Amino acid sequence: MGPPGAGKGTQAKSISLRYRIPHISTGDIFRKNISNNTTLGLAAKSYIDAGDLVPDNITISLVFDRLNNEDCKDGFLLDGFPRTVEQTAALDNYLSVKGVQLDAVVLLSVPNEFILDRMTGRRSCTLCGASYHIRYNPPVVAGKCDICGSDIIQRKDDTEETLRERLEVYELQTRPMIDYYKPRGILLEVNGTKGINEVFENICDSLGAGKVNDNN
C-alpha cells in the first residue's frame, strides 16, 4: 500500500524476485489491456485516464482470476489492490474460502511533497511495467527497459492534474484501509522517502527472514 508514486511498483519488482512470488499489479494489468485494446482495457481506460478508480466489480474479478493461476499457489504479492472497502472485504472472503492467510501488508509512507517530482520524472516499461526515474533510477540504456528491453514511456496518467485526483482518491478511499489492517498486527510501515535500495532492505528486514518462501 501507499499513495501514487510511493514506490509500490519499484519495490514490488524486487520483493517478487527476492521471495520468488508473482507480482500482481492491477495498474499494470489494466495498462496492458488498454494497450492491447481488450474489452477490459476499454472498460478501464476512461477511469484510469481521469485518475479515478476502476469499478470494484471489474477489479475484484480480475484479481481473483489472476490469483487462481497455478503460479500463486505458493504465495503472491499484490500491488495496488485492495484499495476500497469493498475490495478489502472481497479479498478477505476469497482468502478465507481458500484457507490462505495474509502474511503482511507493507505500507510505504511518502509525504505528498515528494510525489510530484517522482511522478513527473517517472518512465514505465510498456511490456513488463517496470518503473524508472529520469534522475533517481535511470535505465542503463536510455529509453529501454533493463529487465525486458522494451521501450519505456511516460504514463498517460502521470500529469499534474490527474495526480491531484489520484491523491484525493487515495486519501478518501484507500488510506482508511490502514486502520483496517493495523489491529490485525500485519501492517508493516516503512519510510518510503529513503533511497530505493535502502527502502528495499528495510522492507525485507521488517518482513523478517524466512517468513515468506525465503529460500536464500
Tell me whether strands 105-109 and 187-191 are parallel, antiparallel or unpaired: parallel
CA dist 158 and 12 (Å) reads: 19
Q: Which of 13, 31, 118, 122 is catalytic?
A: 122
Residue 148 touches Zn ion, criterion: CB under 5 A:
yes
Residue 24 touches Zn ion, criterion: CB under 5 A:
no
CA dist 176 and 183 (Å) reads: 13
Q: Is the dihedral of CA 199, 191, 22, 163 positive or negative?
A: negative
Q: Which of 144, 155, 175, 194 is catalytic?
A: 155
Burial of 14 (0-12, 13-18, 19+ CB in 10 A): middle
Residue 9 touches Mg ion, criterion: CB under 5 A:
yes
- Looking at the Cβ atoms of 23 and 210, the one nearer to ligand AP5 is 23
Residue 147 touches Zn ion, criterion: CB under 5 A:
yes
CA dist 113 and 118 (Å) reads: 10
Residue 195 touches ligand AP5, criterion: CB under 6 A:
yes
Among positions 24, 105, 199, 204, the unique one binding ligand AP5 when judged by CB under 6 A: 199
| 147-to-22, 70, 84, 144, 206 alpha-carbon distances in Å | 15, 23, 31, 9, 26
Interface map 94-133 toward ligand AP5 (x if CB under 6 A)? ------------------------x--xx--------xxx
Which positions lie near ligand AP5, rule CB under 6 A?
2, 4-10, 26-27, 30, 47-48, 51-54, 59, 80-81, 83, 87, 118, 121-122, 131-133, 136-137, 166, 192, 195-196, 199
